[in-house]
Amino acid sequence: VQLQASGGGLVQAGGSLRLSCAARSGYSLDDKAIAWFRQAPGKEREEVSCQGMNEGKIYYADSVKGRFTMSRDSAKKTMILQMNSLTPEDTAVYYCAVDPSVWYSDSYCLRNYDYWGQGTQVTVSS
């Protein structure tokens, strides 16, 4: 399964971006564990938001709570990360990830995911 992330770009602090991720083959994301991660230059990859199944609780990292919203669009078979009130600290490459073998309702991220997108660059200027 190849995931395609899009929507990154350059934005000023306080601005918004909407990231999307879909499987090129039209692979459904319904009731699969999905996640967004990010990696800033010189830093380790960190989890941003995760969900174990449709209607499951969504996990958000403390650094993005109240600003980022993750959702699924079942009809379009995509996952969305709406990012508002962006700050320079949000600058990173953002990756989407899916694991079809696990589903759960609680709010947490898996340690590993089977499929990863290629990443989309988000740059926030001050």
Would you list the DSSP string of 66-96?
Answer: TTEEEEEETTTTEEEEEE-S--GGG-EEEEE
pLDDT of residue 16: 98
The model's confidence at residue 1, banded by pLDDT at 50, 70 and 90, is confident
Overall average pLDDT of the 92-118 stretch: 94
How does pLDDT run across 15-29, given as a tens digit for each residue? 999 999 998 887 899
CA–CA gap between residue 53 and residue 108 (Å, rounded): 11
How does pLDDT run across 28-82, given as a tens digit for each residue? 998 899 999 999 999 999 999 999 999 999 999 999 999 999 999 988 899 999 9
- Both tokens of 48, joined, read 């941003």
pLDDT of residue 31: 87
